[in-house]
Amino acid sequence: MLPNTGKLAGCTLFITGASRGIGKAIALKAARDGANIVIAAKTAEPHPKLPGTIYTAAEEIEAAGGRALPCIVNVRQEEQIISAVEKAVKTFGGIDILVNNASAISLTGTLETETKKVNLMMDVNVRGTYLTSKACLPYLRKSKNPHILNLSPPMNMKPVWFKNHCAYTISKYGMSMCVLGMAEEFKGEVAVNALWPKTAIHTAAMDMLGGSGVEKQCRKTDIIADAAYCILTKPKSFTGNFIIDEVLLREEGVKDFDVYAIAPGHPLIPDFFLDAETDMTATKSESHGASQASDGAKVNKESVSAGPVAETFRVIQGELNKELVKSTQGVFQFELSGDEGGTWYLDLKTSSGSAGFGKPPAAADVVMSMSSGDFVKMFTGKLKP
């Protein structure tokens, strides 16, 4: 774990989606320094499926040593964003850091994604990030060491990251494009960076997506909180970076990553948008055609480790096509036990097909329960189905 240094004492952080999960973890890390936290989130009344409200988060933040200002904010509503920013400035005297964490997700193909879901993802992820940044920037520019941090991925343009959830990918890359543009636009004034996890992170949303047993293949939110803290305590000249949590923490001297695991030693699910074998450095903005924008993260090669089940599904995903779907017309669900256990699926019925971790987008025609080892053997031809 990365120790607190006290550098965020007295700083004001405006964090969207801070009532639970990653947003709340970042808030609590800063609160331990004595920071002021604006909890800008929707949940004022307890949610039937998701834990926490802006008020329970405020209690935790104050117990950790921070000051909290809970604000009801749906980032789809510009007037709510502006009102919360004004309250923050009135209460704390300014804004030093913005964390754009609020996000919506639907891992569905083009024909399966309802228009209201498309609107939700575009409104929350892209428009919400843009408008919250716009509202905070006049105050950020007055801060001594201002930062904007978006929870969004490096823009991996391989088609595999678009084909199964095109709308979601567009919306998350829209957040990343805000980093590209604003880092250059406000260079020398406000640091603007993106942070993305190397592996799946265990949150209530992940439980809903992945089903039972998924937590064993995830890391705690602490790893993102530590990486965010590291970024937000750097000088504002550190800007225009697309940072992977583990890579940055290794550069900062962290060696024990088992402390971040829900089940130490258990295989972890690689997160979206990261290739299984790739250079996962703190990617500089010039790799996307922008000019150099920071004093630089060190460059070291880091590969995302994936277990045999995840690798098998990556291979399957790369082989999917409309002809195969047309000839098969079936949805398969795999309930795996052992390493990389949990629910996985292969959809050979809709659109161009899809495969991966979690429940299938359509009702399964076949459900197979087996060990992870037997699953790999079956798909490598060593075991007959």
Taking the C-alpha atoms of residue 263 and residue 178, their distance in angstroms, rounded to an integer, is 35
Question: Which two three-digit tokens encode residue 267?
Answer: 């295989």
Residue 49: DSSP 8-state: S
The β-bridge partners of 39 are 15, 70
Question: Which two three-digit tokens encode residue 263?
Answer: 């089940």
> Which of these, 172, 179, 90, 94, lies nearest to 140 by C-alpha position?
94
Inter-residue contact 160 to 318 (CB < 8 Å): yes
Q: Which residue has the tokens 């009102």?
A: 83
Exactly one of 130, 139, 168, 345 is catalytic; which is it?
168
Inter-residue contact 182 to 133 (CB < 8 Å): yes
Inter-residue contact 196 to 245 (CB < 8 Å): yes
Length of the chain: 385
Residue 6: DSSP 8-state: S
Inter-residue contact 240 to 183 (CB < 8 Å): yes
> Which of these, 378, 350, 379, lies nearest to 362 by C-alpha position?
350
Tell me the Cα Rg of the chain.
21
For residue 142, the SS3 value is: coil
Distance set, CA 239 to CA 9, 187, 190, 236, 242 (Å) = 22, 8, 8, 7, 9
Torsion from C-alpha of 264, 271, 288, 254, nearest 10 degrees: -10
Q: Which residue has the tokens 């903005």?
A: 285
Inter-residue contact 153 to 172 (CB < 8 Å): yes
The question of whether 168 is a catalytic residue gets the answer yes
Classify strands 36-41 and 67-72 as parallel, antiparallel or unpaired: parallel
Inter-residue contact 144 to 93 (CB < 8 Å): no
Q: Cα–Cα–Cα angle for 188, 226, 196, nearest 5°? A: 70
Q: Which residues are the active-site residues?
A: 168
